[in-house]
């Protein structure tokens, strides 16, 4: 009986791999928002703000590198992978050392938001006639 009560008292969080996946394949800011939500759920507001700032900084550095120095998908992917791995490893080791004990939140809500944002951006590109570089 006590064991089931302990598992019910553990806050549900987005798993480490889900946050890393969103950092890599969607956007580091998106992964940072998910990590921030995890930290807010365990009442770590300052750490949540720091995680969000780090992910925004990572996005800006990646954008700068990919537009000024090395263009291409590979540099963006590598930067998101390295930055996402750093942020995930640091915050999960420090604040969620017992991650396996936490229930996992569904990724459906963030996935829907990411798809909606992608559709909105694509429609804006079409409506405003922006041509992508070849």
Per-residue pLDDT reduced to its tens digit, 59-95: 898 888 888 777 778 888 888 899 899 999 999 999 9
Mean pLDDT taken over the chain: 86
How many Å is the maximal CA-CA distance in the chain?
A: 62
Q: 3 pLDDT band (50/70/90 cuts)?
A: very low
Give the pLDDT confidence score for residue 85 in this predicted structure.
Answer: 93
Strand partners of residue 13 = 104
Is the pLDDT at 34 greater than 70? The verdict is yes
CA dist., res. 131 & res. 134, Å (int): 9
Give the pLDDT confidence score for residue 134 in this predicted structure.
Answer: 63
Strand partners of residue 104 = 13
- Domain residue limits, the chain: 2-105
Q: 133 pLDDT band (50/70/90 cuts)?
A: low
Per-residue pLDDT reduced to its tens digit, 20-30: 999 999 889 99
Binning the chain into helix, strand and coil, the percentages to the nearest 5 are: 75, 0, 20
Report helix angle 45-64 to 28-41, nearest 10: 180
């Amino acid at each position: 009986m006590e064991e089931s009560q302990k598992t019910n008292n553990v806050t549900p969080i987005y798993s480490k791999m889900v946050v890393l996946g969103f950092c890599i394949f969607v956007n580091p800011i998106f992964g940072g928002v998910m990590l921030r939500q995890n930290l807010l759920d365990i009442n770590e507001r300052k750490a949540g703000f720091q995680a969000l700032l780090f992910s925004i900084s990572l996005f800006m550095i990646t954008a700068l590198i990919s537009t000024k120095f090395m263009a291409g998908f590979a540099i963006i992917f590598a930067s998101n992978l390295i930055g996402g791995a750093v942020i995930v490893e640091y915050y999960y080791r420090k604040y969620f050392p017992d991650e396996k004990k936490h229930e996992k939140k569904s990724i459906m809500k963030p996935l829907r938001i990411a798809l909606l944002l992608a559709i909105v951006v694509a429609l804006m590109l079409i409506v405003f006639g922006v041509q992508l570089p070849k």
